Amino acid sequence: MTRSPLLLGLDAGGSGTKWTLVRAGQSVASGRTAPFTAALLGTPAGDAALAELGAALPGRPDAAHAGVPGLSAGSDRAAQVAAALAGTLRVDAAHLSLEGDLDLAYRSHLSPGAGVLLYAGTGSVAYHVGRAGEVVRAGGRGYRIGDDGAGFSLGRAALRVLTAAIDRGQEPDSPLAREVRAVTGGTDWDTLRSFTYGDPGASAVARLAPAVSRAAEAGDAEASHLIEEAAQSLAELARRVQEQAGPLPVTATGGALRSPLLAAALGRALPGVNVQQRDHAEAAARYAGAQFGG
């Protein structure tokens, strides 16, 4: 009896690369290494991230599949990333495939044509892949314009509540202010400014989203209102895709929806939505098996 092949799945992204190894249908190892995206390919940071990934894997995979931000399957850039990954992972290039991170996220939850994936992490996007591979999307415009309802926008909204109080000469001391203070170290403007505009800047703001959720759980009316607004914004993204792709069911996922209050609010704003969390790296490994055997 031949041993089952070892399958690697990668969920690459700007904040880290999640990897999972699957054998005979079981996850046998997983981990997280430095960020790797198509944009990092060929840079010192990208080279270091690839080397770290290669060193972290406890075995040589027989096949691999990866989701990488900003990549279209079949593009020149995808071929370059595939070659780099095949070399690092010592995987036969014929047993390695790539797609965009949103395509992998969609694949992890839904079959082509089956629904709309609503993702809410630091940013937000609604995404549909049709039976013929056609894509309809809404949102995902980044923190300077959009990403409404997700982590950055919740953190931004909390900071707006506090700075409006400061404008009115009030010392913020609501549950929301206390939860924010626990993250930022203070709710005076000098501290909030350093938190918002210092290093690491924009991604720090998203770290306030759980504080909003905790404040709402503690009964803070403004925090509860921000959660409701976020849910409405996310529902709107899903509806924009439904307007294009048809009245398909919506599956919602992403770190922001680990907040039970936001998930519940989304259920009210978008009746019938199915909130679920899955390991996209593990889904990638299973897909490698489906494609290349395993």
Q: Is 246 in the site for a second copy (CB under 8 A)?
A: no
Q: Does 193 bind a second copy (CB under 8 A)?
A: yes
Shortest separation between residue 141's beta carbon and a second copy, angstroms: 5
Tokens of 59: 């075995």
CB closer to a second copy, 98 vs 241: 241
Rounded Cα–Cα distance for residues 162 and 220 (Å): 13
Q: Is 196 in the site for a second copy (CB under 8 A)?
A: yes
Nearer to a second copy (CB atom), residue 6 or residue 161? 161
207 binds a second copy (CB under 8 A): no
Asked whether position 202 contacts a second copy by CB under 8 A, the answer is yes
* DSSP code at position 282: H
Q: Is 144 in the site for a second copy (CB under 8 A)?
A: yes
138 touches a second copy by CB under 8 A: yes
Q: Are 244 and 194 in contact (CB under 8 A)?
A: no
Tell which residue, 269, 277, 275, has the closest CA to residue 239.
269
CB 264 → a second copy: shortest distance, Å? 25
Tell me which stretch binds a second copy (CB under 8 A): 35-43, 159-167, 216-224, 258-266: 159-167
The answer to whether residue 136 forms part of the interface with a second copy (CB under 8 A) is: yes
The count of residues interacting with a second copy (CB under 8 A) is: 30
Give CA separation, 144 vs 23, 84, 89, 141, 202, in Å: 42, 32, 36, 8, 9
Round to whole Å and give the CA distance between 233 and 256.
13
Cα–Cα distance measured from residue 106 to residue 121, given in angstroms and rounded to the nearest whole number: 14
| Closer residue to a second copy (CB): 106 or 143 | 143
- Of the candidate spans 14-22, 48-56, 234-242, 267-275, the one that interacts with a second copy by CB under 8 A turns out to be 234-242
Contact 245, 130 (CB under 8 A): yes
- Give 32 or 240: the residue with its C-beta nearer to a second copy: 240
Per rule CB under 8 A, is residue 205 in the interface with a second copy? yes
Tell me which residue of 177, 269, 175 sits closest to 217, measured CA to CA. Answer: 175
Query: Pairing relation of β-strands 63-68 and 6-11?
Result: parallel
Which of 167, 198, 200, 271 is the binder for a second copy (CB under 8 A)? Answer: 167
Which of residues 58, 169, 200, 272 is near a second copy by CB under 8 A? 169
Of 25, 59, 142, 219, the residue at the interface with a second copy (CB under 8 A) is 142
Per DSSP (E only), the strands in the chain are: 6-11, 17-23, 26-33, 63-68, 96-100, 116-120, 124-129, 135-139, 250-253, 274-275
> Measured from the CB atom, is 138 or 263 closer to a second copy?
138
User: Residues 78, 81, 83, 89: is their CA dihedral positive or negative?
Assistant: negative
CA 29 to chain centre: 21
Determine if the peptide bond prior to 200 is cis (ω within 30°): yes
The reply to whether 268 sits near a second copy by the rule CB under 8 A is: no
Stretch that binds a second copy, among 4-12, 71-79, 191-199, 248-256 (CB under 8 A): 191-199
Q: Which residues bind a second copy (CB under 8 A)?
A: 136-139, 141-146, 156, 159-160, 163-164, 167-169, 189, 193, 196-197, 201-202, 205, 237, 240-241, 243-244
